[in-house]
Amino acid sequence: MTDQRAGRDEPPNQGADASPTTGRRSLRSRIPEEAGVIVALVALIILIGLANPNFLTFRSLGQLLSSSAFTGMLAIGMVFVIVIRDIDLSIGWVFNFSAVVAGTVMVWGVDPFLAAGVGILFGGLLGFINGVLAVSLHIQVIIITLGTALAYRGLSLIVNGSRAVIPPDKDGLFFTMWDHKLFDVIPSVAIAFLLLAVVMHIVLQHTRFGYRAQAMGSNPDAARLAGIPVDRTRIMVLTLMGLVAGLTGVIFLGFRGAIDPVTGDTYLLPVIAAVIIGGTPLSGGRGSVFGAVLGALIIQTIQTGILFLGIDAKWSIFVTGAVIVIAVAIDQLVRRQRARKARDVVDAG
Above 50 in pLDDT, residue 240? Answer: yes
- Domain assignments of the chain as residue spans, ordered by start: 52-338
Note the pLDDT tens digit of each residue in 67-90.
Answer: 899 999 999 999 999 999 999 999
Position with higher pLDDT, 348 vs 271: 271
pLDDT of residue 347: 66
**In sequence order, what are the residues at sequence separation of 6 or more whose Cβ sits closer than 8 angstroms to the Cβ of residue 306?**
312, 313, 315, 316, 319
**In sequence order, what are the residues at sequence separation of 6 or more whose Cβ sits closer than 8 angstroms to the Cβ of residue 148?**
90, 126, 129, 130, 133
- The pLDDT of 226-238, averaged and rounded, is 93
Is CATH 1.10.730 correct for 52-338? no
Above 70 in pLDDT, residue 349? Answer: no
pLDDT of residue 65: 86
Share of the chain above pLDDT 70, in %: 85
Q: Quote the pTM value.
A: 0.85
Above 50 in pLDDT, residue 130? Answer: yes
Beta bridge partners of 218: none
What is the residue-averaged pLDDT of the chain? 85
Above 60 in pLDDT, residue 2? Answer: no
Residue 249 CA to residue 146 CA, distance in Å, equals: 20
Q: What is the dihedral of CA 184, 102, 263, 260, to 10 degrees?
A: -100
Terminal-residue alpha carbon distance, the chain: 37
CA distances from 22 to 10, 288, 293, 301, 345 (A): 19, 26, 32, 38, 16
Confidence of residue 1 (pLDDT cuts 50, 70, 90): very low
| Angle at alpha carbon of residue 197, lines to 42 and 191, rounded to 5° | 80
**In sequence order, what are the residues at sequence separation of 6 or more whose Cβ sits closer than 8 angstroms to the Cβ of residue 276?**
82, 282, 295, 324, 327, 328, 330, 331
Q: Is the dihedral of CA 47, 53, 55, 57 positive or negative?
A: positive
Residue among 153, 180, 102 nearest 264 (CA): 153
Above 50 in pLDDT, residue 6? Answer: no
Position with higher pLDDT, 215 vs 8: 215
Note the pLDDT tens digit of each residue in 139-183.
Answer: 999 999 999 999 999 999 999 988 999 998 777 888 888 888 777
The H-or-E segment that residue 122 falls in is helix 112-137
Contacts 24+ apart (CB under 8 A), 52-57: 52/308, 52/309, 54/308, 55/304, 55/305, 55/308
pLDDT of residue 15: 45
Backbone angles phi, psi at 259, to 5 degrees: -140, 125
The answer to whether the beta carbons of residues 204 and 76 sit under 8 Å apart is no
Q: What is the dihedral of CA 280, 286, 288, 289, to 10 degrees?
A: 110
